[in-house]
Structure 1
Amino acid sequence: MTATNPPVDRAIGRTPPGPPRRQTPFLLAQLIRDRLSLVSSAAEQYGDAARIAIGPKTLYLFNHPDHAKHVLADNAANYTKGIGLLQAKKVLGDGLLTSEGELWRDQRRIIQPVFQAKRLAGQAEVVSQEATKLVDRLRATIGHGPVNILHELTELTLRVLGRTLLDADLSRYSSMGRSFEAVQDQAMFEMVSLNMVPTWVPLPKQLRFRKARKDLQGTVEDLVRYRDAHPTDGDDVLSRLIESTRGEADQRVGRRRMRDELITLMLAGHETTASTLGWSFVLAGQNPEVWQRLHQEAVEVLGDRPPRYEDLHKLTYTNMVLQEAIRLYPPVWILTRVARQADEIGGYHVPAGSDVLICPYVLHRHPGYWPNPERFDPERFGRDQVTNRPRYAYIPFGAGPRFCVGNNLGLLEATFVLALVARDLRLTKLPDHKVVAEPMLSLRLRGGLPVTVQAAR
């Protein structure tokens, strides 16, 4: 990319540098094939602010902790959800991930109590049980060839989500994981095609999406029917959402809102944790000394028993490994916003209606805050290291009002699973399998993660 020197308007701030519009074909190809390279190279060449013009779209990428703080927290009211998430609305509707304003605040108020610390502590046993079952399933594969650990993790996280948040058994819906993959594929396709291909066009990808949307909507309707017939004490998300819609003047509107929220919760609630664990296994597996320390800590803290809630803060090195894994591969790799009104970020002018990007994947590699940023080093999250970094240099769960509501449950689940697997087993990636990051709505492992399983030694 070659930098341009746009004119400076000193009354409203400078225009960020960026590649000239004649590079649109190259940039569009990057957007389609290598989105991580697009944002990484822009930050590398143009610094903490870059203006990327791609056809009719102009993207403003900001890559400094102060910029993230401004957009996500200090002036969050000026920014609505942006590119990618707008496309996801076709299946997620107005769920918590995509909704705005008063609707979003009402949804957050309904769901927030389910994630409170007291309730979370009560769900730790469920997480421990499911993590133990995962280890048992993996142990049964020893000597029987490779297993796709990412598939196992997806199934695990869906079961945990069902039991802890919905008080429901999601294992009955075997196609749910594939349906969510089709949803993400469609959202990314619409983003890179700039919404120019209607969903009714019978492309294979779009046909899969339409079937997935129908299947997910049917799953939610089935869950609601079951809960209506088998009411609980009302402490779970499903019961709370059903109760919140009883007062709707138009019951169809209430049912649609409840469906949107449940689909969003199931997607976000399982995908991010499965991705976090997948990358943790990759990175720890590439560093035998890290895996050995994980194993030793799990043996010392847990002995031969399952983990309990009070163990969460004793598994300090396990937590450091997870934090470093999501530094390098944050499940929410990019945060997209649209400016309601013109703004100034770090001295740069942002016109009203602009697409603004805060990219944790790039920010977490900022050499000004992360020495040797590409190196996997859990010691970065030792207590003395954490206190010396700006708060907004590390935002794997977002920041400000839209900080991820389920982050504590996700970290509890990931900690228990990583500790139990490292205590009892050793996972080895197949030598010929190339690990590739796939930036969809979350940062996935393309093609899964085939591993062989051995007993810990």
Structure 2
Amino acid sequence: MRIDPPGPPLRALPGLLRKLAVDRLGMMRDAAGLGDAVRVSMGPKKLYIFNRPDYAKHVLADNSDNYHKGIGLVQSRRVLGDGLLTSDGETWREQRRIVQPAFKPGRINQQAAAVAEEAAKLVALLRGHEGGGPVDVLQEVTGLTLGVLGRTLLDSNLTAHESLAHSFEEVQDQAMLEMVSQGTVPAWLPLPPQARFRRARRELYRVADLLVADRRSRMADGGPGDDALSRIIVAADRRRDDPARARNRLREELVTLLLAGHETTASTLGWTLHLLERHPEVRDRVRAEARAALGDGVPGPEDLHRLTYTTMVVQEAMRLFPPVWILPRVAQQRDVVGGYTVSAGSDVLVCPYIMHRHPGLWEDPERFDPERFEPRQTADRPRYAYIPFGAGPRFCVGSNLGMMEAVFVTALVTRDLDLRTVAGHRAVAEPMLSLRMRGGLPMTVSTAR
């Protein structure tokens, strides 16, 4: 027997769909208010929203082959093509096999010195603004994450390519426009957003081509390294049957790595530093732990186990503001999730932002409380109640590097500096491909006492 999840009353549907364009988080909150499984009809299309750990586990892990990438990510294919973030099936499995060795724990531990050095550079850069006007901390941590990405995964210097962050913003803006318009705005129309998107895409491809050419030149002298860029270059060179397609795939996979490798960590750091400024008692505990664990030095891989409270702070920041705020899928075949029928071709959403605030899973869910992640409190929590890096086979391949980076930067910045948000500034979550902070994070800088 067919059982459909409940949906909004007909009179509420226009308002709910309007929020898809102007307030996506508000739409998800409204939908969650109808239950843990919700169906929204949009003409001939159906959208299912699942907000329980066991439902999420079914879609993301148990029957993951039935659920391919969905809205938002599909629209990103105009830039990312069939890169790791947007591909499915055997294409995705091949790409994952190629880059996976670059993310092995042993290799990531070897990158700890590079991460710590970039974090120390950020502290020095911010200290240069001491006593002056406000600095956009989000912009600076974005620069840091690009620097770390270049050194740890690409064996390349990204500091010379300042256009990357802005170009990715333009690409995400266009992807979201296409998502909410469901493709009704033709890509060829000479509208300002379309023109900005095309310029951004050309710039991203230009940078990708330069990085590949530089890495090829160095590989010709010293052979390929163990970095991710070397691996995808070698894999592309093996595709001799269609050189043009191999070249495009190489470009798409590199642009995907550039986006995924810096955007989510920059978002996490922005929200973490904002929350620490809002909660001075937590900030003081992080500072005390960093000074006790690190002294005046920089952290190494062994220090992750000593920065336990700082790690919990980052985890709690990702609970409230998960960098991967939504996991969109499309059902390939008819399925049953938690007793509810999902029709083939339907869009399916699992929303970590909403599930991380589920009152049935988290006590006082809107409160910032890092101690939720003490081992005693996590032991009985459902595995899929907390999925800031996604889950199942498509669990973020860079999660270990991202956590190391976020913890090291949080510890060093908090140990050495006091950051104060500019009066009147309000941090607003902007749900794009990651959960960005709209308008940046303007803060003043002083030396921590």
TM-score strictly above 0.5: yes
Within a 5 Å distance, the mapping from 1:152-231 to structure 2 comes to 152-231=140-219
**Which residue in the other structure is 1:8 paired with?**
none
Q: How far apart in 2 are the matches of 1:59 and 1:283?
A: 33
Q: How far apart in 2 are the matches of 1:403 and 1:456?
A: 37
Q: How far apart in 1 are the matches of 2:364 and 2:170?
A: 36
State the Cα distance separating 1:21 from its structure 2 match. Answer: 4.2
Q: How far apart in 1 are the matches of 2:292 and 2:35?
A: 45
Secondary structure at 2:74's aligned position in 1?
helix
Q: Give aligned pairs, total.
A: 445
**Which residue in the other structure is 1:90 paired with?**
78
Tell me if 1:242 matches 2:233. yes
- Overall identity of the aligned pairs, in %: 60
Q: How far apart in 2 are the matches of 1:454 and 1:115?
A: 36
Tell me if 1:29 matches 2:18. yes
State the Cα distance separating 1:313 from its structure 2 match. Answer: 1.2
User: TM-score normalised to the size of structure 2?
Assistant: 0.98
Q: Deviations over 1:19-75 (max 9, x none)?
A: 13454431232001100010111112x111011223443210000000010000001
| Cα RMSD for the two superposed structures | 1.0
**Which residue in the other structure is 2:297 paired with?**
305
Does the aligned pair in 1 maintain the 2:80–2:256 contact within 8 Å? yes
Q: Deviations over 1:217-275 (max 9, x none)?
A: 11111111111211154211111111111121111111111111110111011000000
Secondary structure at 2:216's aligned position in 1?
helix
**Which residue in the other structure is 2:110 paired with?**
122
Runs of 5+ consecutive residues of structure 1 not aligned to the other structure: 1-10
Q: How far apart in 2 are the matches of 1:227 and 1:418?
A: 31
1:63 to 39, 51, 67: 51
1:451 to 431, 443, 446: 443
**Which residue in the other structure is 1:3 paired with?**
none
Moved over 6 A (4+): none
Q: How far apart in 2 are the matches of 1:370 and 1:380?
A: 9
Q: Deviations over 1:279-309 (max 9, x none)?
A: 0011111111000001000000000001111
Q: How far apart in 1 are the matches of 2:236 and 2:83?
A: 14
Tell me if 1:107 matches 2:95. yes
Does the aligned pair in 2 maintain the 1:123–1:164 contact within 8 Å? yes
Q: How far apart in 2 are the matches of 1:261 and 1:394?
A: 28
Secondary structure at 1:357's aligned position in 2?
strand
Q: How far apart in 2 are the matches of 1:68 and 1:28?
A: 23
What amino acid maps onto 2:70 in structure 1?
A: G
What amino acid maps onto 2:158 in structure 1?
A: L
Q: How far apart in 2 are the matches of 1:21 and 1:405?
A: 41
2:400 to 391, 399, 408: 408
| Bigger shift: residues 376-385 or 54-63 | 54-63
2:131 to 119, 140, 143: 143
Does the aligned pair in 2 maintain the 1:430–1:450 contact within 8 Å? yes
Q: How far apart in 2 are the matches of 1:21 and 1:162?
A: 50
Tell me if 1:254 matches 2:246. yes
Q: Deviations over 1:298-335 (max 9, x none)?
A: 00000000111110111000000000000000000000
Tell me if 1:383 matches 2:375. yes
Does the aligned pair in 1 maintain the 2:119–2:412 contact within 8 Å? yes
Q: Deviations over 1:160-202 (max 9, x none)?
A: 0011000000111111100000010010000001111112212
Q: How far apart in 2 are the matches of 1:281 and 1:55?
A: 43
User: TM-score normalised to the size of structure 1?
Assistant: 0.96
Does the aligned pair in 1 maintain the 2:16–2:30 contact within 8 Å? no
**Which residue in the other structure is 1:437 paired with?**
429
**Which residue in the other structure is 1:353 paired with?**
345
What amino acid maps onto 1:40 in structure 2?
A: R
Q: How far apart in 2 are the matches of 1:34 and 1:56?
A: 23
What amino acid maps onto 2:229 in structure 1?
A: L
| Bigger shift: residues 224-233 or 133-142 | 224-233
Does the aligned pair in 2 maintain the 1:20–1:53 contact within 8 Å? no
Secondary structure at 1:41's aligned position in 2?
helix
Q: How far apart in 2 are the matches of 1:49 and 1:310?
A: 43
Q: How far apart in 2 are the matches of 1:328 and 1:87?
A: 26
State the Cα distance separating 1:392 from its structure 2 match. Answer: 0.6
Secondary structure at 1:170's aligned position in 2?
coil
**Which residue in the other structure is 1:40 paired with?**
29
**Which residue in the other structure is 1:5 paired with?**
none
What amino acid maps onto 1:37 in structure 2?
A: G
Query: In the superposition, relative to structure 1, how do residues 183 and 56 fare at CA in structure 2: closer, same or farther (>3 Å)?
Result: farther
Q: How far apart in 1 are the matches of 2:233 and 2:383?
A: 37
What amino acid maps onto 1:31 in structure 2?
A: L
| Bigger shift: residues 423-432 or 52-61 | 52-61
What amino acid maps onto 2:117 in structure 1?
A: Q
